[in-house]
Chain A
Amino acid sequence: MTKAPSFLRSFPKNIFCGFVVSLIALPLGLGLASACGAPPVSGVISAIVGGIVLSIFGGSHVTIAGPGNGLVVILLSAITTLGSGNLQQGYLYTLAAIVLSGFLLLLLGFLRMGSLSDFFPSAAIQGMLSAIGVGIFAKQFYVMLGNEGSGDTLSLLSKIPQEIYDYFTLSDASIFYAGFIGILSLLFIVFYNKISNPILKFLPAPMWIVLLSIGFYYYHFFNNRSYPIDATLLVSLPDDFLNNLVFPDFTKVFEWDFIAVVLSIALVASIESLLSIKAVDQLDPFRRRSHVNKDLKALGLASVLSGFLGGLNVVTVIARSSVNVNQGATNRSSNFFHALFLLLFLLLFSRVLHRLPLSALAAILVFTGYKLADPQNIMRVFKVGKEALLIFMSTLLFTLLTNLIAGIFCGMLVTFCVHIFATKRLGLFLRNFLKPNVLMYQEADTGVYYVSILHFCSFLNYYKLKHKLEQLPFSARVVVDFSLCRFVDQTVMEHLEAYGSSFEIGLGHMEVLGLDLHHTQTAHPFALRIFRQEAPLPVKKHLTRRQLALRSVARQVGWEYKSFAPVPLECFKESHYFEGKHVDMVKNLLSHSDFMLCDVIYNKGLFIAREWLRTTLLHIRCKGVVPDFTLDKEGLFERLRYLGNKQVHLHNYPDFSHRFHLYGEDVQAISDFFSKELVCFLESNDYYHIESTMRGLLVLKHQRLSSIPEVKSLIDFGKRLHQLLPFA
């Protein structure tokens, strides 16, 4: 992993990134604010304050702060309801709510509640984001056509065809031109990504829209024609915004609807910010971890300041941050410069920005809303499973029908009900909900971090698993074992996937084990995993990540892969390791001529609790009869006693006898078997437990399943061992 370059060295680059981001942030800020029903300048104020505060006090590295999509819906309803129709007064009340929600975020930061967003099921969050997208889309579609829609989201949506019809039959020139610019802007932004023209790509699409529509005005101006769009359909900015700052009105502080607004702003702002911070951490080329709680505190402070200056609240945003990363930003200074450039634009060009039609800004937002609520999302969620779709749709609909807070909590409730219905075990959740269920320790002999999870792992207790994983450097080797866990949900699988890629880039390795016997409905890696003791399925339709990886390992080395195989008894019958144990199943068989590598699922005899044990082993078939022996390093396997055999000392190799414990009956045959080359090989390689099964050798390392790198080295060890055997 490369280290981030020094601050001074990357300074010019970060200034440039700040500039590019500010080009997008300006139209978005203006647009988001007018979509909220607030003065357009408030969005830019929020970006300026956010950029400055976050770059000084924040804990993340390349995120950009400013007004967010998620809050549009809440702020719009807050401004209209709190002001009882009077937008200006409603705006002042909402500013007060923004200030208070900023204090709430500060509090969350000090209470280290940065893990809050982990409590929400991912399908429900997707549903909520889609609902926000639908809300923005429905409202802004009217503005784009030079109109102003009113009513709730669903009725707005249903009237869209009527609106299009009205637009084309209307004779008002002002509305026609506004709508015309809106539609052109929308077409431009839709096709912008499909055209690769270096001149076109010089500026981001929103900035082009701003420049072109202002150009449209100056075209009329220089040709001495009157501008066809009415002033009410243009952005209104104060000429001198520093002297026109407004201040919040705190008179409604103790009213219930005001408090509800404060709470929803704080909730959505924290979820949106935490999600973006997490997403941007994935984008960071240097894989730094953000200090989430520090960021929350900074966001809170920024929202308080922004509210006092008449700006919207500040969240961290994905889209602008990803542009920032793509331009090569390396640290927080780009966020600072983005704010500085915005301030400069506002001071120098506010007269020019006056000419910007609202419909052009609305077109940008229609596109943003559409991307949030992309109908393809439904397909994507459906691929995960029917349950995920149910959660997604119910959250989406409930959010549209009521509000965001009710929607997300409805999503949580539905998720919980779906989990109970899917597992048919309410007790599993109720009994184990509060119990700690995650064990993590570092294996002394291999240095691998082993994480085992009991009972169930879902959005309800994911934070416990996350807490353990957070304590690992991304360069570590980690094995996450779900074999004792009876239920794993989408949220957990999704988070683990993200961790997996972080470890991959940090040059570590993380692998999820033990899901082979869990039932799934779909082949999607995030599908629900349910273990049914009464019917552990022998053959599975859908392979897990590990099985797919094993299959590709098999292809690489030219072996054959089978996900399930009949128990090859001849390999285990004579072995000491399986003496007194009962082999139930053999899974993930990789075989090639004399070699056979598989996961064995066994139990400690019929009369004892039938808890399954799992191990990965390699069997090498030999042409001749192998003398009965067991080779072990001190204390790794305790089963030696069954042998009842004495320890064999190879007198020619005192070092070997000192390091390894070799047990067996026929001393002469064993001494013959261990040739000079074989002893040298064993001494100079990684340690494995090796024992004879008369017709072959059994090689294994752990009393658990092996991860993919471990399987690879086991195969390699086996191949080289095979060449040294006397009768290979």
Chain B
Amino acid sequence: MKRSFEKILIGIAFSSSLKRNILEATRLSKMFNAKLIGVHADEKTAHKEKTLQDILKTIPHSESIEIIFKKSNPVKVILEICKTKKIDLLILGALQRENIFNYYLGSIARKLTRKAPCSVLLLLKRSLMKNDYNHMVVNGLKNNKTSYLIEKAFCVANNLECKKITIVEEIAPKILAVKAEDDASLNRVLSKKESLAEAEQNRIQAILKNIPKNLSKNMHIKSQSIFGKTGYSIGHYARVVHADVLVMHVYERERVWGRIFMKDIEYILSDLPTNLLLIKS
């Protein structure tokens, strides 16, 4: 089977969740059949070395992990290694807000997400149980990279042994160009919506035809059109259907304006609905 990613990088911080993070990363690297590199942005000390070795001993298949110690600004170090080692997937962990419903990104993770030259996987706190990637939601927004994204998503889904993929087409209300104000305009809106949704479905079906058969075999594929704010609706949808992975395009650099008025992916980053995979094409 085609490999989705060849080299995976994780940042290592000596916190209480260290063991879980490494465990998850090794598990993922095994699933992707990829090499795992860990980086710690501080000096190498005997104590740290020992803690790390103790943990690695307990984890199966952890022999191949390469650990890099380098004292510097974490963002800088990680971005640099991404480039020099030709990393193609960076795994980052999300933080939890004081109340247990919300996840968000820490400042370092947020910077890395914005600047990373490769694909990024943002993980929520995960269980130690296996096989919990069951339902993947993929962004089918019309774009010149959509077909690449969808194919990549199928590839990843096969690696993660994910059995159900939902492709979501967000249709911005702007495209409707009619507003429902009374019965007559409501009927116009409904029929326009129907034809738009059908066009979107056809577009996605055309893309799906080009997916290699071995990738889409045994997969439950569904597509859902949603009329709503782009970037926002898909996150909310992923949350409502309890998706385990959400696959989107990588973050496009925004100017200051775009950061003040939240757009697309910012909605998802500020309130992570589930594990988020950002694909770089």
Q: CB within 8 Å of B: which residues of A? A: 59, 112, 114, 288-294, 434-436, 438-441, 444, 450, 452, 454, 470-471, 473, 481, 484, 486, 533, 580, 604-611, 613, 634-635, 638-642, 703-704
Q: Is the CB of B228 within 8 A of A440?
A: yes
Contact string against A for B residues 202-246, beta-carbon threshold 8 Å, 1 for contact and 0 otherwise: 000000000000000000111011111100110011011110000
Q: Is the CB of A470 within 8 A of B180?
A: yes
- The complex places the Cα of A610 from the Cα of B262 at a distance, in Å, of 27
Partner of B179, one of A112, A290, A440: A112
Q: Is the CB of A59 within 8 A of B182?
A: yes
Contact string against A for B residues 96-128, beta-carbon threshold 8 Å, 1 for contact and 0 otherwise: 100111010000000000000000000011111
In the complex, what residue of chain A is closest to B181 when comparing beta carbons? A291
Known contacts A436-B232, A638-B220: A441-B237 contact under CB 8 Å: yes
Residues of A within 8 A of B134 (CB): 638-639, 641
B40 at the interface (CB under 8 A from A): no
- The complex places the Cα of A436 from the Cα of B124 at a distance, in Å, of 22
Q: Is the CB of A439 within 8 A of B236?
A: yes
- The complex places the Cα of A608 from the Cα of B275 at a distance, in Å, of 12
Residues of B within 8 A of A473 (CB): 186-187, 190
Q: Is the CB of A289 within 8 A of B237?
A: no
Known contacts A441-B237, A471-B189, A610-B100: A638-B182 contact under CB 8 Å: no
A189 → chain B closest CB, angstroms: 36
- The complex places the Cα of A293 from the Cα of B124 at a distance, in Å, of 46
Partner of B164, one of A486, A613, A635: A635
Residues of A within 8 A of B237 (CB): 439, 441
Q: Is the CB of B236 within 8 A of A604?
A: no
Main SS of the interface on chain A?
Answer: loop
Q: Is the CB of A440 within 8 A of B100?
A: no
- The complex places the Cα of A638 from the Cα of B126 at a distance, in Å, of 19
Q: Is the CB of B220 within 8 A of A634?
A: yes
Partner of A440, one of B132, B164, B227: B227
Closest 10 CB pairs of A and B: A635-B220, A439-B236, A291-B182, A638-B164, A607-B127, A638-B134, A441-B226, A608-B127, A436-B232, A605-B127
What are 10 sample pairs from A and B whose C-beta atoms fall under 8 A apart?
A: A112-B179, A439-B236, A441-B228, A444-B222, A486-B101, A604-B132, A607-B127, A608-B124, A608-B127, A611-B101
Q: Is the CB of B181 within 8 A of A293?
A: yes
- The complex places the Cα of A291 from the Cα of B185 at a distance, in Å, of 9
- The complex places the Cα of A297 from the Cα of B100 at a distance, in Å, of 48
Q: Is the CB of B267 within 8 A of A611?
A: no
- The complex places the Cα of A693 from the Cα of B125 at a distance, in Å, of 31
B151 at the interface (CB under 8 A from A): no
Partner of B181, one of A294, A434, A450: A294
Residues of B within 8 A of A114 (CB): 181
Q: Is the CB of A609 within 8 A of B163?
A: no
- The complex places the Cα of A639 from the Cα of B185 at a distance, in Å, of 43
B58 at the interface (CB under 8 A from A): no
- The complex places the Cα of A86 from the Cα of B126 at a distance, in Å, of 77
A614 → chain B closest CB, angstroms: 10
Q: Is the CB of A613 within 8 A of B240?
A: no
Residues of B within 8 A of A641 (CB): 131, 134, 161, 163
Residues of B within 8 A of A436 (CB): 228-229, 232-233, 267
B129 at the interface (CB under 8 A from A): yes
- The complex places the Cα of A725 from the Cα of B66 at a distance, in Å, of 59
In the complex, what residue of chain B is closest to A425 when comparing beta carbons? B99
Known contacts A288-B183, A439-B237, A471-B180: A533-B99 contact under CB 8 Å: yes
A-B pairs with beta carbons under 8 A, tally: 123
Residues of B within 8 A of A606 (CB): 127
Residues of B within 8 A of A59 (CB): 181-182
- The complex places the Cα of A434 from the Cα of B261 at a distance, in Å, of 9
A464 → chain B closest CB, angstroms: 10
B135 at the interface (CB under 8 A from A): yes
In the complex, what residue of chain A is closest to B229 when comparing beta carbons? A436
Q: Is the CB of B125 within 8 A of A609?
A: yes
B5 → chain A closest CB, angstroms: 23
- The complex places the Cα of A609 from the Cα of B100 at a distance, in Å, of 7
Residues of A within 8 A of B225 (CB): 441
Q: Is the CB of A439 within 8 A of B240?
A: yes
B125 → chain A closest CB, angstroms: 6
Q: Is the CB of B125 within 8 A of A608?
A: yes
Q: Is the CB of A452 within 8 A of B100?
A: no
B216 → chain A closest CB, angstroms: 12
Q: Is the CB of A609 within 8 A of B96?
A: yes
B20 → chain A closest CB, angstroms: 8
Known contacts A293-B181, A703-B241: A607-B236 contact under CB 8 Å: no
Residues of B within 8 A of A444 (CB): 222, 224
- The complex places the Cα of A435 from the Cα of B127 at a distance, in Å, of 30
Partner of B239, one of A292, A484, A533: A484
- The complex places the Cα of A502 from the Cα of B175 at a distance, in Å, of 28
In the complex, what residue of chain B is closest to A432 when comparing beta carbons? B271
Q: Report B119-170 residues with CB < 8 Å from chain A CB.
A: 124-129, 131-132, 134-135, 161, 163-164
- The complex places the Cα of A590 from the Cα of B132 at a distance, in Å, of 32
Partner of A607, one of B96, B99, B129, B239: B129
Residues of A within 8 A of B229 (CB): 436
In the complex, what residue of chain A is closest to B133 when comparing beta carbons? A638
Residues of B within 8 A of A635 (CB): 164, 220-222
B200 → chain A closest CB, angstroms: 12
- The complex places the Cα of A441 from the Cα of B166 at a distance, in Å, of 14
B269 → chain A closest CB, angstroms: 12
Contact string against A for B residues 79-99, beta-carbon threshold 8 Å, 1 for contact and 0 otherwise: 000000000000000001001
Q: Is the CB of B183 within 8 A of A611?
A: no
A30 → chain B closest CB, angstroms: 34
Known contacts A441-B226, A611-B100: A604-B242 contact under CB 8 Å: yes
Q: Is the CB of B183 within 8 A of A452?
A: no
Partner of B127, one of A112, A484, A604: A604
Interface centre among A290, A454, A609, A634 (most CB of B within 10 A): A609
Residues of B within 8 A of A454 (CB): 236, 239, 271
Q: Is the CB of A435 within 8 A of B182?
A: no
Known contacts A112-B179, A471-B189, A641-B131: A435-B262 contact under CB 8 Å: yes
- The complex places the Cα of A635 from the Cα of B220 at a distance, in Å, of 5
A607 → chain B closest CB, angstroms: 4
In the complex, what residue of chain B is closest to A467 when comparing beta carbons? B173
B180 → chain A closest CB, angstroms: 5
**Given contacts A471-B193, A484-B240, could you give 16 more A-B pairs where the C-beta distance is less than 8 Å?**
A289-B183, A436-B232, A439-B228, A441-B226, A441-B233, A454-B236, A471-B190, A471-B227, A481-B240, A533-B101, A604-B132, A605-B127, A609-B100, A634-B220, A635-B164, A638-B164
Q: Is the CB of A607 within 8 A of B125?
A: yes
Known contacts A605-B127, A634-B220: A533-B100 contact under CB 8 Å: yes
In the complex, what residue of chain B is closest to A428 when comparing beta carbons? B99
